[in-house]
Amino acid sequence: MKRLALLLATLLAAVLIPLLVGGSETLRRLRDFPLGLLLAMFGMILLCWGLNALRLRLLLGDNVREMSPLKSLGVVMATEFAYCATPGGTGAPLTLMALLSRNGVRPAKSSAVFATDQLSDLLFFLCALLGILFYALFHSLSQKLEWMLGLSATLMLVGLCLCLCLARYHRQIITLNGQLLKRLNTNAITRRRWARKLLHFRDALADTLKMPRTRLTLVFLLTCLHWGLRYSVLYLALRGLGTDVQWAWSFLIQMLSLSAGQLSLLPGGAGAAELTSAALLAPMVGNSTAAAAIVIWRAVTYYFYLVVGGPVFLLLISRPLLNKLMRFREA
């Protein structure tokens, strides 16, 4: 109940922030926004879910036989709902593992699929940032955006280096984990169980990354399509409001805002993402336009995930419990 109250409070704050920034003019700008363009943006999100479902099926490989395409789509929608509804997106991997385990996928394999998916995302954002850096060399850039672009690229490189170090020095990590658990007075059986879990995860991740290069390339291409569509929403919102902001800067603003939201540890970054995007966007396009664009952007890429993904999440998570209750009544 407390988590639900926190989610509702953060949602209310997230809605109020743009309205306070733009004032009453924001509502007029929202009323004048083209309905057809708004529906097209919702259609883009539906396409994103389909792309992610296909990506999940490719990563599962032979384990996908037990899952229909429709069920794969449901797993993706439920997982992304959990990502938006939990602090820092911590519910996403747990939801994915729980749903895949009900379809015969081992926890080590499902966690490896999630890790590979995250690595693909990280590689895309690193490539995108490098592209924006190259683009910025030939275009004027404000000092604030220049500093943030450099910081983002550095953080991405650090994250990728950490992933490579984890893959290269996994034995040392397992040993260090065992020593840490020993200092915490954990018994030997528990330490061995965690060591086995790490080894199973390593083997599952290695098997996933040993997939044919054509399949891994296709996974990365689907990743690029997904994030390219999703990160075009703010750009299209600004165009619909009559403002021409270059796609590269709208991409950078979204990435920085969502990163700030993640660091805030609020569900979906609600509040922090709105504040950061308003601070970056308002000097470019004005308060009312920035506020209206932020409301549309978050409605499409955040609230829509909660409204549509929530029922799917409840259906998939609650079905086993409902079946047990039905069997109990029949007995």
Q: Are 288 and 23 in contact (CB under 8 A)?
A: yes
- Is pLDDT larger for residue 176 or for residue 76? 76
Place of tokens 């540890």: 265
Contacts of 57 (CB under 8 A, 6+ apart): 64, 67, 69, 72
Query: What's the half-sphere exposure (Cβ side, CA atoms, 13 Å) at 95?
Result: 27
CA distance 286 to 25: 11
Q: What is the pLDDT of residues 203-245, one digit of tens each?
A: 556 666 677 788 888 999 999 999 999 999 999 999 999 888 8
CA angle 52, 58, 63 (to 5 degrees): 115
Q: How far is CA 44 from CA 49, 221, 228, 277, in A?
A: 9, 16, 10, 21
The one-character DSSP state at 139 is S
pTM of the model: 0.80
Distance CA 331, CA 314 (A): 25
pLDDT at 44 over 80: yes
Name the pLDDT band for 330 (thresholds 50, 70, 90): very low
Range of the domain at 301: 2-330
Total domains, the chain? 1
Q: Averaged over 271-290, what is the pLDDT?
A: 85
Residue 120's pLDDT is 84
Confidence of residue 183 (pLDDT cuts 50, 70, 90): low
